Amino acid sequence: MSRSASSRANRRGEPPPSPEPLPSPALDSHTHLDIVVGERPAHGAGDEGWPDDAEVDAEIAAAAAVGVPRLVQVGVDVPSSRWSAELATRHPQVLAAVAVHPNEAGSGAADNDALAEIDRLAALPRVRAVGETGLDRFRTGPEGWAAQEASFRAHIRIAKEHGIALVIHDRDAHEEILRVLDDEGAPEHTVFHCFSGDADFAKACVHRGHVLSFAGTLTFANAAYLREAAALTPATQLLVETDAPFLTPMPHRGRPNASRLIPHTVRALAEVKAMDLSELCEALTSTAERVFGTWE
């Protein structure tokens, strides 16, 4: 075990074992490999603290081994967006999303320089989404809401200008997100990452043509409202994700998450949709390729 692997185990506990592989290839539409594998560097830390390529490659290979050969690596600030774009450029199993996260934006991080860099990264061929962006009314207080909304609007414009998808972070802000999307005009492909609404909100999103991406929260005992939302969403508007290292699905809730654990969520979704598991995997992959383009 390398030094960074042992410190990772100390910090978050040993990662759980991989589940039984999926019968057909599926994907993880939202992961943060830099946080799964490494200790995220502080702002301005440059290249220090980024995980080494071998450890990242091992995680990607572990996902492929359980039928998850396609990942979307998501940036949350300028340094992690740059790292995500670089990883996608060198790795055929990875596409990238780039953005300044709404909580960072709420404290002023989405300034003109940062947005110009996101715009530059969004033009790269392996960057296929702008995100995660949106609104967070849970962790950002009212003093940050104006800056957060201005950043969200700027990110929507960048996605549309480059003709790529938009990946939305929505925390306690369902109606406000729809208000801004309707006002700006949503990009053709708009994904609600870690969908957290109920059946009514799911209907409002589905009606607008948006895509709902479900995380490990779908498997939680107290999340009947999410299963209702997933049940009414057409398979063509469904994605799955880990948001690793967060939101670990049952039966491993509380331990560190990784893309190789997504079969738990896919199996839960197949049950909710009463769909054959292989058919669901195929539907998820074709939706992902419609939204993000093809991986290879």
Specify whether the CB–CB gap between 65 and 21 falls below 8 A: yes
Residues facing 184 on adjacent strands: none
Taking the complex as a whole, how short is the minimal distance between the CB of residue 24 and Zn ion, in angstroms? 25
Using CB under 5 A, which of the segments 15-23, 52-60, 241-249, 274-282 binds Zn ion?
Answer: 241-249
Q: Does 59 bind Zn ion (CB under 5 A)?
A: no
- If the CB atoms of residues 170 and 243 are measured against Zn ion, the closer one turns out to be 243
Using CB under 5 A, which of the segments 2-10, 102-110, 195-203, 235-243 binds Zn ion?
Answer: 235-243
Give the total of residues touching Zn ion (CB under 5 A). Answer: 1
Q: Does 241 bind Zn ion (CB under 5 A)?
A: no
Pick from 60, 243, 272, 292 the residue near Zn ion by CB under 5 A: 243
Q: Does 170 bind Zn ion (CB under 5 A)?
A: no
Task: Select from 21, 30, 5 the least CA-distant residue to 170.
Answer: 30
What does the block give as tokens for 93? 């199993």
**x/- site string to Zn ion, residues 109 to 148, per CB under 5 A?**
----------------------------------------
* In the complex, residue closest to Zn ion by CB: 243
Taking the complex as a whole, how short is the minimal distance between the CB of residue 79 and Zn ion, in angstroms? 15
What does the block give as tokens for 253? 């809730």
Using CB under 5 A, which of the segments 4-12, 145-153, 243-251, 287-295 binds Zn ion?
Answer: 243-251
Taking the complex as a whole, how short is the minimal distance between the CB of residue 123 and Zn ion, in angstroms? 22
Taking the complex as a whole, how short is the minimal distance between the CB of residue 167 and Zn ion, in angstroms? 8
Task: Select from 243, 117, 120, 153 the least CA-distant residue to 192.
Answer: 243
Using CB under 5 A, which of the segments 20-28, 179-187, 238-246, 274-282 binds Zn ion?
Answer: 238-246
Q: What are the residues binding Zn ion (CB under 5 A)?
A: 243
